[in-house]
Structure formats: structure tokens, C-alpha cells
Structure 1
Amino acid sequence: MACEVVELPGGRRAIVCGPRQPRRKCQCGNPATLECDWKVPARRSGTCDKPLCPTCTHVPAPGKDLCPAHAAMWKARRG
């Protein structure tokens, strides 16, 4: 959450914080700290971005995480 100090009349100051973003959860209910990196050209980000926890991710290569659905697709392509 981004906060900033705002100067008020009379020399007083206030700390104003922006809206807090909800914590994303994995499909299992655990806090999501990762996102699926499967390429999805139709999305603005270019990837799936499904929230994942470290337990539910599949790591096909260093720095790459896949959701269970895309992990199954990746495994099917590999034979």
C-alpha cells in the first residue's frame, strides 16, 4: 500500500494511504505468491497470471511457474 505525507493548512501533516489491494489466493486457499507464466497472447500481460502458491505450482524451468491446467498441457506436449 502506497502512503504519502500531505501538508495541511497551518503546518500540520497527514499520512494518506492508497487503497489496499486484496491478497490473492491460490485455488487451494493458500496465499498466492506466484503467477502462471503460460503464454496467452490474447491477454494484455501476455501470460495466464493465475495466482499460485508454492505448493500448487509446477516449475518446468527456473523462474517459470505453471498452474495445474497449463502444467497438464505442457506435460502432454512433451509426450
Structure 2
Amino acid sequence: MASFSSEIIGRNVVDLEGAMFGVVTDLRMTATTGLLTHVLVQHTSEIDPERLPWSTRNGIVEVPVDEVERIANLVHLRR
């Protein structure tokens, strides 16, 4: 998993319209199964975290993996 994590951390994240949302800072997995549950994203300064549907702590948004459309050169969100 370390290899996968290192490939994803640091990638830019864009929303459904292709606008910059932030940068992946970490991945969260379940301890028992190792399944990916959240992508942690440092949002851009233009984003108002109060308007987001996800938990935010210290500028880091906890995006559920179900909200990720695909991972390519960029991480694409469904919204």
C-alpha cells in the first residue's frame, strides 16, 4: 500500500467541472480490512470549508472514497 499511497499523495484534486479543489495529503484506510475509506485533501484558499458536505479539520477535507470519480494524473471528484 505504501507504493499506492506515495503515487497518490501530492496529486491535484479537481471537482466535477475541472476546477482546482486541492491537493491529496494522505489516505485513510480501515485498520481491519485495509480498504480505502477517505482521501484527505488540503483545499485551496478559494474553498469555503463551511459549505462542503464533508468533515474538515485544520484545512484538510476528509473526502469519502465514494466521492472520487477516478484517479488519473489528477484525482477527479464526482461533485
Q: What's the TM-score, normalizing by structure 1? A: 0.26
Q: Which structure has the higher relative contact order (CA within 8 Å, separation 6+)? A: 2
Q: What's the TM-score, normalizing by structure 2? A: 0.26
Higher strand share: 2
